[in-house]
Amino acid sequence: MRIILFSGKGGVGKTTLAAATGVRAASMGHRALVMSTDAAHSLGDSLALPIGPEPTRVMDNLDAMEIDAQHELEREFGPIKNFLARFFKGQGIDEVVADEMAVLPGMEELFSLLRVAELAQSRRYDLLLVDCAPTGETLRMLAAPDVLRFYFRKIFPVQRILARTVRPVAPFVTSLPVPEDDVFVAVRRLYERIERLDPLLRDPKVTSIRIVLSLEKMVIAESERLFTYLGLYGYSVDAVIANRVLPETLKGAYFERWGRTQARHMKRVREGFASMPILESPLRDEEVMGTPLLRTLSDEVYGERDPLSVFHTSRPPKVEKRGEGYVFSFDLPFASSDRVTAYAAGDELSVTIDNWRRNIVLPRSLAGREVMEARLRSGRLSVVFGGR
- How does strand 371-377 pair with strand 380-385? antiparallel
User: Tell me: the pLDDT tens digits for 35-73?
Assistant: 998 877 889 999 999 998 899 999 999 999 998 877 767
**329 vs 97: CA distance, rounded Å:** 43
User: Tell me: the pLDDT tens digits for 96-125?
Assistant: 766 766 666 666 777 788 889 889 989 999
Q: Are 381 and 340 in contact (CB under 8 A)?
A: yes
Q: Are 298 and 47 in contact (CB under 8 A)?
A: no
The predicted model scores a pTM of 0.85
User: Tell me: the pLDDT tens digits for 267-294?
Assistant: 999 999 998 999 999 998 889 999 999 9
**256 vs 267: CA distance, rounded Å:** 16
Measured in residues, the chain has a length of: 388
- Domains in the chain: ranges and CATH: 1-314 (3.40.50.300), 318-385 (2.60.40.790)
| 8 has pLDDT over 70 | yes
- How does strand 371-377 pair with strand 356-361? unpaired
Q: How many CB atoms lie within 10 A of CB 29?
A: 10
Q: Are 70 and 104 in contact (CB under 8 A)?
A: no
**269 vs 240: CA distance, rounded Å:** 9
**313 vs 238: CA distance, rounded Å:** 6
- Among 48-52, 100-104, 245-249, 378-382, which is the least confidently predicted range? 100-104
Mean pLDDT (whole number) for 353-377: 87
> What residue ranges in 40-122 does DSSP mark as E strands?
56-59, 62-66
Mean pLDDT (whole number) for 165-187: 52
Give the side-chain half-sphere CA count within 13 A for 80.
21
In the three-class reduction of DSSP (H, G, I as helix; E, B as strand; rest coil), residue 325 is classed as: strand
**136 vs 134: CA distance, rounded Å:** 6
Strand partners, 162: none
CA distances from residue 177 to 83, 85, 124 in whole angstroms, order as listed: 8, 10, 42
Q: Which residue has the higher pLDDT, 222 or 101?
A: 222
What is the separation of C-alpha 152 from the centre of its chain, rounded to a whole number of angstroms? 20
Q: What is the CA radius of gyration of the chain?
A: 23
Highest mean pLDDT among 14-23, 39-48, 317-326, 329-338: 14-23
Mean pLDDT, all residues of the chain: 84
| 214 has pLDDT over 70 | yes
